[in-house]
Structure 1
């Protein structure tokens, strides 16, 4: 207890210096946690991908479609349980800045695969009955204040023209990692319109979504699907949903790496600042440490005072940084809208913040503690505080 009192008094001896040090640690741990959360949000789609879902696309590029006739052939392959399909729509709502993902999907078969989209039964039925019906995620509905029955006008880019969709359902996520910033509408409605306007673009699919029974079947089923369409006019590339999502993330690998590096650099900088603070404090108290030794206190007791003070300051700053991360993440997610569909602070991120704060406190105290432990009593008493 006496040791704790000494540590607390030492920490509060220079209140301004201690306060500035704590503020620096708060900013550093907050920035570290925030940047790590950004990185995790970047990988949110891939991390939430199912191990029993495969994506089949054109082997040349995602921009080239596949024939609708492939659906029956894929469904006939051993190990395949369900087949659905989707087209990226890419429409604009009111202004180009109002971007959110829109997918034309194969109705019931698509929703049967993605069971993480929780939709009330009556809304589910209303969507299936209405050819122009659409379902949207809760976060998207909250951002644009969409309600059931609202008409969403979209200006087509990939599929030109004015398209109107009626909100028939608002889905929630089964888990916090479920993306609720998307809009889904009937692929049949898109296809029927294309048959009238541009028939050569009709009966074509962007990707096939294939559900298999077991995750260990993925390599075998993927190879079988691609072998089925080998040497055809539209060869396929089948991969797991996670690999498909990671292919998009890999396009921005340099940004992700830079964010990671910056987060660690921030911790290194505050570690240097903290080390300087503790070195100044220890240098000012050499005579006090020498006096403690003269009174019979051992070197470890003296060293523990410095380590304890350093951990106290870094711990206080770390706790405040962790506490501030949650409201900061909520505010950032609200500001970014659909840019980051999932932006939540993970428990691992909090543990990394706490570990970083402890590491700063320990490393910053090593050199001053060693110096205090080794100080000669006579030389220490001669020093001027």
Structure 2
């Protein structure tokens, strides 16, 4: 208790300097947490991927569709238990700013493949029965204030024209990382309209989603699928869902690497600032430390004083910065909307923030503590701070 009181008195002896140092720590730790959360959000789709799902797309590009006729042959592939498909719709709601992911899917099989979309049985059956029905995630429904039964007008971009869907259900994610910012509706309804308007564009799908029996057979099943359509007019590329998601992340890999680098640079900068604060503190109190040694206190006691003071300041600033991260992330998540659907502070980020604050406190005190532990008593008593 005596040591804690002494540390508190020492830490706040120069209140302005200590206050500015703590403010710097708050900003640095909060900024570090925000940048780490941004990186985690970019990889959220990969983290939420299932090892029992494969994605089959065109080997040329995702923009090239695959024939619906492939579905029958895919069902016959050994190891494939369930098959579904989806088309990226790409429409907007009311204005260009209201953009969110929309997929035309084969509803029954798609929901079977994605059990993490938790929908009540009544809502599920209502969706399956209504060809113009749609379901959305809880986050998306909250963003626009939708409720079951609402009419949702969508202006098509890829599929031109004005479309209207009846909201039949709102799903909740099984986990925090589950995407709740998507809209799903019937592929068959879209396909029928396209067949009437543009005959040649009908009966094509963007991707096939395959459910497999054993995750360790993913590579083998992928080879079987791609071999089935080798040398055809529409060759395929089959990969795990995680690899499929990573293909999108890789497009921004350089940006993500830069963001990670900046997050660590911030910690290095505040560590230098903190080290300067502790060095100034030690220099000013040189005579005090020499007096303590003259009174019989060991060099280890002086070291503990400096490390304790540095850690106390670092942990106060780090704790406040960590606390500020949560409302900051909440505000940014609201502004981002569906751009980054899973924007939440992860436990690993909290641990890294706490670790960074403690690391800064320890490193900042290392040099002045070593110097003060070796100070000559006579020289120290002669020093004028």
TM bucket (normalised to shorter chain) is over 0.9
The Cα shift of 1:8 comes to 1.6
- The reply to whether residue 334 of structure 1 matches residue 331 of structure 2 is no
Match of 1:7 in 2: 7
Match of 1:71 in 2: 71
Aligned counterparts of 1:351 and 1:325: Cα–Cα separation in 2:
13
Secondary structure of the residue that 1:372 maps to in structure 2? helix
The aligned runs of 1:165-314 (5 Å cut-off) are 165-314=165-314
Secondary structure of the residue that 1:168 maps to in structure 2? strand
The one-character-per-residue Cα deviations of 1:128-165 (angstroms, maximum 9, x if unpaired) are: 11111000111101101111111111111111111111
Aligned counterparts of 1:355 and 1:227: Cα–Cα separation in 2:
49
The one-character-per-residue Cα deviations of 1:37-73 (angstroms, maximum 9, x if unpaired) are: 1100000001110001000000000000001011111
Aligned counterparts of 1:346 and 1:271: Cα–Cα separation in 2:
24
- The reply to whether residue 120 of structure 1 matches residue 120 of structure 2 is yes
The Cα shift of 1:4 comes to 2.4
Match of 1:381 in 2: 381
The one-character-per-residue Cα deviations of 1:260-279 (angstroms, maximum 9, x if unpaired) are: 11111110110000000000
The one-character-per-residue Cα deviations of 1:191-227 (angstroms, maximum 9, x if unpaired) are: 1001100010000010000000111010110000000
Aligned counterparts of 1:366 and 1:78: Cα–Cα separation in 2:
62
The Cα shift of 1:2 comes to 2.8
Match of 1:59 in 2: 59
The one-character-per-residue Cα deviations of 1:299-328 (angstroms, maximum 9, x if unpaired) are: 111111111100000011111111111111
The Cα shift of 1:344 comes to 1.1
Identify which range, 322-331 or 201-210, moves more after superposition: 322-331
Match of 2:93 in 1: 93
Secondary structure of the residue that 2:153 maps to in structure 1? strand
The one-character-per-residue Cα deviations of 1:321-346 (angstroms, maximum 9, x if unpaired) are: 11111111111111211111001111
The Cα shift of 1:30 comes to 0.7
Aligned counterparts of 2:23 and 2:212: Cα–Cα separation in 1:
52
Secondary structure of the residue that 1:310 maps to in structure 2? helix
- The reply to whether residue 30 of structure 1 matches residue 30 of structure 2 is yes
Secondary structure of the residue that 1:220 maps to in structure 2? helix
Aligned counterparts of 1:148 and 1:12: Cα–Cα separation in 2:
57
Match of 2:354 in 1: 354
The one-character-per-residue Cα deviations of 1:264-296 (angstroms, maximum 9, x if unpaired) are: 111011000000000000000000011111111
Aligned counterparts of 1:209 and 1:249: Cα–Cα separation in 2:
19
Q: Normalization by structure 2: what TM-score?
A: 0.99
Secondary structure of the residue that 1:211 maps to in structure 2? strand
The Cα shift of 1:3 comes to 2.5
Aligned counterparts of 1:197 and 1:285: Cα–Cα separation in 2:
84
The aligned runs of 1:101-112 (5 Å cut-off) are 101-112=101-112
Aligned counterparts of 2:107 and 2:369: Cα–Cα separation in 1:
67
Secondary structure of the residue that 1:176 maps to in structure 2? coil
Aligned counterparts of 1:3 and 1:177: Cα–Cα separation in 2:
44
Aligned counterparts of 2:173 and 2:328: Cα–Cα separation in 1:
22
The Cα shift of 1:5 comes to 2.4
Number of aligned residue pairs: 385
Q: Normalization by structure 1: what TM-score?
A: 0.99
Residue ranges of structure 2 left out of the alignment (5+ in a row)? none
Match of 2:145 in 1: 145
Aligned counterparts of 2:342 and 2:372: Cα–Cα separation in 1:
49
The Cα shift of 1:92 comes to 1.3
Secondary structure of the residue that 1:34 maps to in structure 2? helix
Secondary structure of the residue that 1:255 maps to in structure 2? helix
